[in-house]
Amino acid sequence: MNKNRLEAFSDGVFAIIITIMVLELHVPTGGLFSVLWPLWPTFLSYGLSFAYVGIYWNNHHHLFQTVTRISGNILLANLNLLFWLSLLPFATAWMGQNYRAPAPTLLYGVLLLAAAVSYTVLEHSIICLQGQESLLRSLLGAGRKEHLSMALYAAGIGLAYYVTAAAQTCYVLVALLWTVPDRRIERALNDRAPQHGHTHSHTHEPQ
């Protein structure tokens, strides 16, 4: 089964998620900058969610560079990931409008945790199809950033009903953690690509 339709569909969903989120930024009444001040929680909530969607899109793109064919399990795992991410605009708007309330912050964390777990399931579905000697398995390593992210999500969920600001800080920390992109896959694929510009005529391993 070819991967192109899966990637095209996923890219479309990512774009729609961002579009829905920006449509929640309602234009205030008035033409002064002062009318924007009450909207700062909504803007911050949108910015955080935009960062998360961008991170997932970037990692999803690199992940599927290691894939040559897909299975039904990969399709289902991908849909599961997109399902949780598609709920992010709702939680973003709710938290932006009620940033001091614990319930919206808790729900936001639950969705982030569910998306992270779903992404891990997607990775393992790909590895199961490719085999234990697959390129992806060799690149994932110990997954320290992934484990730290899960721990911060869990901490945020636990703190939501006690110190809402601390819970939201946990979510920001995870986004900052992934601001530096994971280039393991990109480097590995570049190393496997044919090299040009040398005077030698050696045959290199194809990508």
Which residue, 68, 83, 99, 52, is CA-closest to 1? 68
Task: For residue range 81-110, list pLDDT tens digits in order.
Answer: 999 999 999 999 999 999 999 999 999 999
Residue 204: inside a domain = no
How far, CA to CA in Å, does 60 sit from each of 67, 136, 184? 11, 13, 13
CA 115 to chain CA mean position, Å: 7
Spatial contact of 2 and 74, defined as CB atoms under 8 Å apart:
no
Query: How big is the CA angle at 150 (ends 144 and 156), to the nearest 5 degrees?
Result: 135
Residue 52: inside a domain = yes
Residue 133: inside a domain = yes
At residue 136, the pLDDT reads: 81
Query: In the numeric block, which tokens belong to residue 125?
Result: 């579905």
Residue 32: inside a domain = no
At residue 52, the pLDDT reads: 97
Which residue, 122, 95, 121, is CA-closest to 110? 95
By three-state DSSP, how is residue 98 classified? coil
CA distance 107 to 105: 5
Q: What is the domain extent for residue 64? A: 4-24+40-186
Count of structural domains within the chain: 1
Question: pLDDT tens digits for the chain (207 residues)?
Answer: 678 999 999 999 999 999 999 998 888 888 888 888 888 999 999 999 999 999 999 999 989 988 888 999 999 999 999 999 999 999 999 999 999 999 999 999 999 999 999 999 999 999 998 887 777 877 776 678 889 999 999 999 999 999 999 999 999 999 999 987 666 666 666 666 655 444 443 433 333
Residue 50: inside a domain = yes
Which residue, 153, 139, 54, 38, is CA-closest to 107? 153
At residue 182, the pLDDT reads: 62
At residue 201, the pLDDT reads: 38
Query: In the numeric block, which tokens belong to residue 127?
Result: 């590895």
pTM value > 0.75: yes
Residue 111: inside a domain = yes
Residue 194: inside a domain = no
Residue 203: inside a domain = no
Q: How many residues does this entry show for the chain?
A: 207
